[in-house]
């Protein structure tokens, strides 16, 4: 194994934090919304833009045949899609 480089450390940290956002952060938000049955204070625009971004990166990964992009960005697409669904379901309840 070659020595650690700044680029490899940054790459590892970027991947690690991105995974935490998608498998801890977003599911935690989903759980909180579900428990409250409310999306008050949630930015619809932010989650719509995040969904589009994850969607486009997933498509890019498919064209590049890059499983890391497909899986990582696909997970973001699924979790933000769930939150968008919650926004639609709960927006008129209050």
Q: Indicate whether 1 belongs to any domain.
A: no
Q: Indicate whether 79 belongs to any domain.
A: yes
Q: Indicate whether 77 belongs to any domain.
A: yes
Q: Indicate whether 78 belongs to any domain.
A: yes
Domain count, the chain: 1
pLDDT by residue, tens only, the chain of 94 residues: 467 899 888 878 887 888 888 888 899 999 999 999 999 999 999 999 999 999 999 999 999 998 888 888 999 999 999 999 999 999 877 5
CB atoms within 10 A of CB 42: 17
Range of the domain at 38: 6-90
Return the pLDDT at 94: 56
Q: Indicate whether 74 belongs to any domain.
A: yes
CATH number at residue 75: 1.20.1280.290
């Amino acid at each position: 194994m070659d020595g650690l480089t700044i680029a490899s450390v940054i790459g590892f940290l970027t991947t690690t934090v991105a995974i935490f956002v998608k498998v801890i952060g977003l599911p935690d938000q989903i759980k909180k919304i579900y428990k409250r049955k409310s999306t008050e204070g949630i930015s619809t625009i932010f989650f719509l833009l995040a969904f589009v971004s994850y969607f486009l990166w997933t498509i890019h990964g498919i064209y590049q045949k890059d499983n890391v992009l497909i899986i990582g960005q696909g997970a973001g697409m699924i979790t933000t899609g769930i939150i968008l669904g919650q926004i639609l379901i709960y927006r008129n309840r209050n």
